[in-house]
Copies of this chain bind each other. A is one copy, B any other.
Amino acid sequence: MKAIVTATVFVLFWFTCVSDGKRNVLVLLGDDVGFQFGCYGNQKIRSPHVDALAKRSLLFKNGFTSVSSCSPSRSVVLTGLPVHQNGQYGLAHDVHHFQSFDEVQSLPLILASHGIRTGLIGKKHVKPDTVYKFEVEVTEEEYSINQVGRNITFMKEHVRDFLEASRNDTRPFMLYIGIHDIHRCDTGGKLGDFCEKFGDGTSPGTGVIPDWKPEVYTPEDVEVPYFLPDTPATRQDLANMYKTYSRFDQGVGLFLRELENAGFADDTLVLFTSDNGIPFPLAKTNLYDPGQGEPFMISSPYQRDTWGKTTELMASTMDILPTILDWFQIQYPKYSLNGQAVQLTGKSLLKALAPNPGPAFDLVFSSHVFHEVTMYYPMRVIRTMGMKLIHNLNYRAPYPMATDLYLNPTFLDILNRTESGETLPWITTLDKYYFRDEWQLFNLTSDPYEQMNMADAPEYHDVITSMQTTLNAWLVETDDTWRCLPAGELEGNTCYPLYNGGKKGMGRNK
Contact = CB atoms under 8 A, between A and B. Distances in A.
Nearest to A431: B505
A395 to B, nearest CB: 9
7 contacts: A95-B338, A396-B396, A397-B397, A398-B509, A419-B504, A431-B505, A435-B508
Given A87-B97, A406-B496, 11 more contacts: A87-B95, A89-B373, A374-B481, A397-B486, A398-B509, A406-B491, A419-B503, A430-B499, A430-B500, A431-B507, A434-B506
B338 A94 contact: yes
B434 A509 contact: yes
Interface of A: 87, 89, 94-95, 97, 99, 101, 338, 373-374, 376, 394, 396-398, 401, 403, 406-407, 415, 418-419, 421, 429-431, 434-435, 481-482, 485-486, 489-491, 496, 498-501, 503-509
A415 B509 CA distance: 15
A346 to B, nearest CB: 21
Contacts of A485: 374
B407 A496 contact: yes
A397 B394 contact: yes
B491 A398 contact: no
A4 to B, nearest CB: 34
A431 B508 contact: yes
B421 A498 contact: no
B486 A398 contact: yes
A505 B373 contact: no
A482 B374 contact: yes
A499 B434 contact: yes
- For the complex of A and B, the 7 pairs showing the least CB-CB separation, nearest first, are A376-B376, A396-B396, A431-B505, A95-B481, A406-B489, A396-B397, A418-B500
Nearest to A98: B97
B419 A500 contact: yes
Contact of A431 (B376, B434, B491, B506): B506
Contact of A430 (B101, B397, B489, B506): B506
Given A419-B503, A489-B406, A496-B407, A376 B398 contact: no
Contacts of A434: 499, 506, 508-509
